[in-house]
Structure formats: C-alpha cells, structure tokens
Amino acid sequence: MLKRRGFIKAGTFAAGGLLVSASAGKAAEGAFELPELGYGFDALEPYIDAATMEIHHGKHHATYVLKLNEAVAGAADLKGKSLPEILGNLSEIKDKSLMATVRNNGGGHWNHSFFWKTLAPAGKSGKPSDDLTAAINGEYGSLAKMQEAFGAAAASRFGSGWVWLNEKDGKLKISSTPNQDAPIMKGVVADGELGKPLLGLDVWEHAYYLKYQNKRPDYVAAFWKVVDWEAVSKRLG
Ligand code: MN
C-alpha cells in the first residue's frame, strides 16, 4: 500500500501529470491488498492480545500479500485473475517453484482474510443461528461436542496449519490443512475437496505464541469467545 502510494507520487512528480497517475493505477490492477481488520488490534482482548493481532495482520498477513503480488506480477498467466480462480486451479501452474510460492502466499492471503472475518470483538460473539445450531446438533449432538472435536483436530495438527468447520454435501465436517493450504484449493489438499468453509482457526504458533506459548488448547478455548457467530451462520447454505 505504502509502496504503491510512493510509486504513484514519484511517478506523478517525475512526469508531472494525470496520465502517469492513471497508468500507475492500471499497473496495480489485479494486485492483491491487505484487507482492513474491521476492528481494533485490541478488540479481541483478553482472548487474543493486541500485540499478536498487530504482528499477525501487519507483518505476517502483509508479507503473504506482498509475496503473492510479486509472484503474480511475474506470471502473465495469473495476471488479472481472482484469488479463488488462482487457488482453484493451482495444478495448472506448470512452474513448480511458482506454484509453491502461490500456494503458500495465496493460501496465506485467503486464509487470513477469511480468519479476520470469522472473529468478532470480545463480548460481541453472539450465537449460532437456528439453522447452524440444528446442523451442529445433527452432526455432533451439541455445540460443546463440536467444539471438542474441533479442539482435538487443532491439537493433532502437527506443526503449522489450520482447522476448519466445513459444509460438504449438506453435512458439517471438521478438517485440517497443513501450512497455508486453503479449503478452496483444488487438486493439492491431501484429503480432497474440503467443502465450503464456515469457520477456520489459524494454529500457526505466530497466531498465539506471545500469549499462550505452547498451550495451544488454551488458545483454542479463547478463540470460541471471539467467534463471530453471525458471520459464520451466514456462510451456511
Ligand atoms: Mn497466521
């Protein structure tokens, strides 16, 4: 963002005209941007701390966006495509090194953008809609049982990755992906297509280590206090 603004300003200064600004805008077309959180870094306190949020959004997520933009800028086939289009056709990228870069950083951008929209400020978590409650009860027996199964999946994800609650073939399913693999990827996720993601949790250490250190289960328990159930419920169906 700052980089682009600097580029436009420098270009305008150098050539002194609107034409340069317009072409700078065109050059940036199709580029990906770090989304706003929609709440303050401290909004999730005391469950997720402000320092973690600031570093997670401003450094980790921003770096995925930067590296994705660099990769796409050098790949004519990918220019102008949306992130779902790119991630849904990863196996079509023949250059294996480029594919890995796009998989990691495109997945990172998609996963984090989805994650921020899955969280609500402390005290504003709400509750699952009647439809989502019925789906959860039908599959797991209760919300608490679903959370238990989700927590078990989070605990057993070795190393870095994500845990998901998905809707697939009209049923709810908990799954997990390694690294930055995203549920909307096709052809690369180990256990096939995961279905439509309703909710996802980042279990990379960068998401919780400052406050929770090695206590991943405590972080998972805190996550449930700041889930935006309204947003999650709207994803169902
Ligand atoms: Mn993360």
- How many independent structural domains does the chain possess? 1
In angstroms, the CA 169 to CA 237 distance is 10
> What is the CA angle 15-18-23, rounded to 5?
85
In a domain, 145, yes or no: yes
In angstroms, the CA 36 to CA 30 distance is 18
In a domain, 36, yes or no: no
Looking up residue 190, the CATH number of its domain turns out to be 3.55.40.20
In a domain, 50, yes or no: yes
In sequence order, what are the residues at sequence separation of 6 or more whose Cβ sits closer than 8 angstroms to the Cβ of residue 18? none
Q: Are 58 and 112 in contact (CB under 8 A)?
A: no
In a domain, 38, yes or no: no
Give the DSSP letter of residue 48.
Answer: S
Q: Ligand 1 centre from 103 Cα, in Å? A: 15
In a domain, 122, yes or no: yes
Domain carrying residue 212: 1-25+45-237
Q: Ligand 1 centre from 99 Cα, in Å? A: 20
Side chain identity at residue 185, one-letter code: M
SS3 235: coil
Backbone angles phi, psi at 197, to 5 degrees: -75, 130
In a domain, 30, yes or no: no
pLDDT tens digits along 50-77: 999 999 999 999 999 999 999 999 999 9
Q: Ligand 1 centre from 61 Cα, in Å? A: 7
By the CB criterion, residues less than 5 angstroms from ion ligand 1 are 202, 204, 207
SS3 196: strand
Give the DSSP letter of residue 197.
Answer: E
pLDDT > 80? residue 225: yes
pLDDT tens digits along 1-31: 344 443 333 333 333 333 333 333 333 434 8
pLDDT band at 190 (very low <50, low <70, confident <90, very high): low
Which pTM was predicted? Answer: 0.86
In a domain, 32, yes or no: no
125-150 as b/e: b if 16+ CB within 10 A: beebbeebeebbeebbeebeebbebb
In a domain, 40, yes or no: no
pLDDT tens digits along 103-151: 999 999 999 999 999 999 999 999 999 999 999 999 999 999 999 999 9
- Strand duo 161-168 + 196-202: pairing: antiparallel
Q: Ligand 1 centre from 24 Cα, in Å? A: 31
Q: Ligand 1 centre from 66 Cα, in Å? A: 15
In angstroms, the CA 28 to CA 4 distance is 8
